[in-house]
Amino acid sequence: MPTLIMVLDLSPQMSPYTLLLEHLQNHFKQVRFFAILNKAYPQDQLDSYVKDHALHISLLNPMESPSFSARFSWPLPYFLLYDAKGELLQNYHGAIVEEMLSKDLQDLLDNEGK
């Protein structure tokens, strides 16, 4: 199953991207969606963020306190698109429009259906 992963933090600037992922997840049922936090957050802060934004995506909180995205100097948000075989097809960073991700997801699903 194709997978789209987003790396983000809990800043207010990321809210539109979590909503984007939610919307894509509702539209593309054949794709797995995950959000990974760039660093470990206290569980109460994470719970509050999920509640405030009514999130239904899988939001993964790393166990380690050091930021793993800082090791790779990834600008946030950072997206990774994998095909059904687990091969990285595309990565995106910074401001991403929904239409771009939707088109890439639909193209991936169309190609995998052939």
pLDDT of 112: 84
pLDDT of 89: 94
Structure tokens given for 78:
């950072």
pLDDT of 59: 87
Question: In this predicted model, what pLDDT tens digit does every residue of 52-109 receive, in sequence order?
Answer: 988 888 888 887 655 555 555 677 888 999 999 999 999 998 888 889 999 999 999 9
Contact between 39 and 71 (Cβ < 8 Å): no
For range 40-54, the mean pLDDT:
90
Structural class in CATH, domain 3-112? alpha beta
Predicted TM-score (pTM) of the model is 0.85
Q: Which of 70, 82, 17, 13 is nearest to 40 (CA)?
A: 70
Task: Give the integer Cα–Cα distance in Å for 28 and 92.
Answer: 18
H-helix segments, the chain? 15-27, 43-53, 68-72, 98-112
Domain range summary for the chain, segments of one domain joined by +: 3-112
